[in-house]
Amino acid sequence: MKILKYVTITTAFFFITFSNAQSSIKVSLMEDAEAPIVSKHIYGHFAEHLGRCIYEGLYVGEENKLIPNTAGVRNDIIEALKELDIPNLRWPGGCFADTYHWKDGVGPKEDRPTMVNRWWGGTTEDNSFGTHNFLNLCEVLGAEPYLSANVGSGTVQELIDWVQYTNHDGISPMADWRRENGREEPWKVKYWGVGNETWGCGGNMTAEYYADIYRQYATFMPGWSGETEVYRIASGASEDDYHWTETLMKNVPHELMEAVALHDYAVFDWSDKGPSVNFDEEVYFKSMEQALKMEEYVTKHIEIMDKYDPEGNVDLLVDEWGGWYDAEEEVKNGVLFQQNTIRDVMIAGTVLNTFNNHARRVKMANLAQMVNVLQAVILTDEEKMIKTPTYHVMHMYKVHHDAKLVPSTIKENPQYRGLPVLSVSASKDETGKIHISLVNIDPEKDMPVEFDIAGLGIKNIKGQLLTSDKLQDHNSFDEPEKVTPKEFKGAKLKKDKISLTIPAHSLIVLQGEYK
Ligand code: AHR
């Protein structure tokens, strides 16, 4: 009798254990000779004259003796950004760009007029950080500048003059003025945005009207700068405004337009965006639901572009993206200032995987905004500076810069409240390394994963893990290292499989060597 009871209990135990065990999520990685290169420009950033992004953030002024700086830009920020190898930086906005008159920001500072920053708190902009400051900073960082030009309240002539000022190496009124202002050599700026959100803060235009305006501006932009070919970026759609993309692709001759933009923020309710730190599970779910829509938006905008441009001459640029929450109220001049948590790690990891996987058409993206604003990589408080969890994602993912995509397929992705839990992208670089980035958005469940890597000849796997106990965990000025990457030793390589368990709300980047 006793034996029978033992057998029954043991059987039941095994049954329960077995039936509760999560079977591995199967992911196959298959090399494809036709796969695109993941442009490093997908890892671009965005600096806007907004809140404490430029002033009291990046730029503390040439005369500042308290905070070590180079030409007024904080040295600690320069060092941190250099470690990210930031490929490009968009400036001066955003909505600010369509109120900005660049000529007010060059020449002796004491002669520069002020302006009112009408979109962002009505603060007085003294124009002390202007074109020279920005372009010289890009040089220091080794980043390509991306200038966002004023179409909403500017003129064609103003834009032509800016191109000539920054790029012309011969004798011309603008090039001569640049030399007078202390810069002999042109900066040779390639990336130019022709207006920003022209459907909204950039002029409330219809797609049809903007397409015509765009044609006019774009016509006069090339031809001023010798060998530097300008790359013209049309102000793009918001989220699922497919009509906008379709109109531009249809109405603008493709030889006038190198790229079309797209803006998409992870905002689930514009009138109540929720707190950046003290959010509950419901808000987390809604943020992730919104963040994962990037996959759908990018796919559908690309479908339209493929229809009008099957050769792929016009690129898609997601030049504003990120999580956007209610601003932290206690921060002085903290317009749109928000903290950054493990939720932001989940957003950044999944969105960047989407961009990598669509690298055939997505050639650039810009995370909004670099310092002290939305999904910032850096936060400052007077002399203090911290790196946010999103900074660490950008650092871990830089292995994908200009590497060749290795397409991945996830079989039967489990769901968290209807959302796919696992996100993956992979690439191989020219130094013989393969990298796999994976994100588990489930707030509570660890997920076993098995990669089928047949034919890739991978050896020596190692990895890094970014997570923390709670979704709300973040780095603060008192605890700046709470969320930082740790070594991950849990990946096992056996024959043609890599198996591991990715903890709940975690991001892992694996590195292997390939033959
Ligand atoms: O990133 C904040 C604002 O969001 C930008 O200025 C604008 O382009 C967008 O609406």
The predicted structure's pLDDT at residue 346: 98
Q: What is the pLDDT of residues 315-364, one digit of tens each?
A: 999 999 999 999 988 787 779 999 999 999 999 999 999 999 999 999 99
Say yes or no to pLDDT of 394 above 50.
yes
Query: Which SS3 state, helix, strand or coil, does residue 419 take?
Result: strand
Strand intervals (E) in 40-87: 44-46, 69-70, 73-74
The predicted structure's pLDDT at residue 8: 46
Is 232:256 a contact under the CB 8 Å cutoff?
yes
* Rounded Cα gap, residues 39 and 111, in angstroms: 41
The predicted structure's pLDDT at residue 429: 97
Interval between CA 26 and ligand 1 midpoint (Å): 39
Report which protein residue has its CA nearest ligand 1's atom 9: 94
The predicted structure's pLDDT at residue 515: 76
**Mean pLDDT (whole number) for 97-126:** 97
Cα torsion angle, 214, 215, 216, 222, sign: positive
Interval between CA 269 and ligand 1 midpoint (Å): 16
Residue 257: half-sphere exposure toward Cβ, Cα within 13 Å: 30
* Rounded Cα gap, residues 423 and 449, in angstroms: 11
* Range(s) within the chain of domains with CATH label 2.60.40.1180: 22-32+407-514
**Mean pLDDT (whole number) for 396-412:** 98
Q: What is the pLDDT of residues 71-106, one digit of tens each?
A: 999 999 999 999 999 999 999 999 999 999 999 999
Q: What is the pLDDT of residues 364-389, one digit of tens each?
A: 999 999 999 999 999 999 999 999 99
Q: What is the pLDDT of residues 22-75, one digit of tens each?
A: 799 999 999 999 999 999 999 999 999 999 999 999 999 999 999 999 999 999
Report which protein residue has its CA nearest ligand 1's atom 2: 94
DSSP string, 106-167: SS-GGGPPPEEETTTTTEEE---S-HHHHHHHHHHHT-EEEEEE--SS--HHHHHHHHHHHH
**Mean pLDDT (whole number) for 175-192:** 97
Closest to 45 measured CA to CA, from 95, 105, 103, 88? 88
Mean predicted lDDT score pLDDT of the chain: 95
Residue type, 152: G
Closest atom of ligand 1 to 48 CA is: 6
Structure-block tokens of residue 51:
């809140």
* Rounded Cα gap, residues 38 and 287, in angstroms: 26
Say yes or no to pLDDT of 490 above 60.
yes
The predicted structure's pLDDT at residue 351: 99
Output the CA–CA distances (angstroms, integers) from residue 180 to 20, 101, 108, in the order listed: 74, 19, 10
* Range(s) within the chain of domains with CATH label 3.20.20.80: 40-401
* Rounded Cα gap, residues 175 and 180, in angstroms: 9
Q: How far apart are the first and last CA of the chain?
A: 60
Say yes or no to pLDDT of 208 above 70.
yes
Query: 479: Cβ–Cβ under 8 A, 6 or more apart, which residues?
Result: none
Which residue in this structure is represented by tokens 């109540």? 272
Interval between CA 449 and ligand 1 midpoint (Å): 37
Cα torsion angle, 175, 177, 178, 182, sign: positive
The predicted structure's pLDDT at residue 332: 76
CATH topology of domain 40-401: TIM Barrel (3.20.20)
Ligand 1 pocket: which of 196, 335, 338 to mutate (most atoms within 8 A of CB): 196
Q: Which helix (H) or strand (E) holds 282?
A: helix 281-291
Pocket (CB within 6 angstroms of ligand 1): 48, 93-95, 196-197, 320, 368-369, 374
Catalytic residue among 56, 197, 295, 450: 197
Give catalytic status of residue 296 as yes or no: no
Closest atom of ligand 1 to 336 CA is: 2
Report which protein residue has its CA nearest ligand 1's atom 6: 94
Which residue in this structure is represented by tokens 């769901």? 415
Interval between CA 499 and ligand 1 midpoint (Å): 41
The superfamily in CATH containing domain 22-32+407-514 is: Golgi alpha-mannosidase II (2.60.40.1180)
The predicted structure's pLDDT at residue 446: 98
Closest atom of ligand 1 to 95 CA is: 6
The predicted structure's pLDDT at residue 47: 98
Interval between CA 324 and ligand 1 midpoint (Å): 10
> In b/e form, how buried is each residue of 279-318, taking b as 16+ CB within 10 angstroms?
beeebbbbbbebbbbbbebbeebbebbeeebeeeebbbbb
Roughly what angle, to the nearest 10 degrees, separates helices 75-84 and 389-397? 40
Say yes or no to pLDDT of 14 above 60.
no
The predicted structure's pLDDT at residue 227: 66
Give catalytic status of residue 329 as yes or no: no
Is 304:467 a contact under the CB 8 Å cutoff?
no
Q: What is the pLDDT of residues 410-443, one digit of tens each?
A: 999 999 999 999 999 999 999 999 999 999 999 9
**Mean pLDDT (whole number) for 239-266:** 98
- By the 10 Å C-beta count (0-12 exposed, 13-18 middle, 19+ buried), 351 is classed as buried
* Rounded Cα gap, residues 126 and 116, in angstroms: 9
Report which protein residue has its CA nearest ligand 1's atom 7: 94
- Model's pTM, two decimal places? 0.95
**Mean pLDDT (whole number) for 205-217:** 98
Interval between CA 308 and ligand 1 midpoint (Å): 28
Catalytic residue among 125, 144, 295, 320: 320
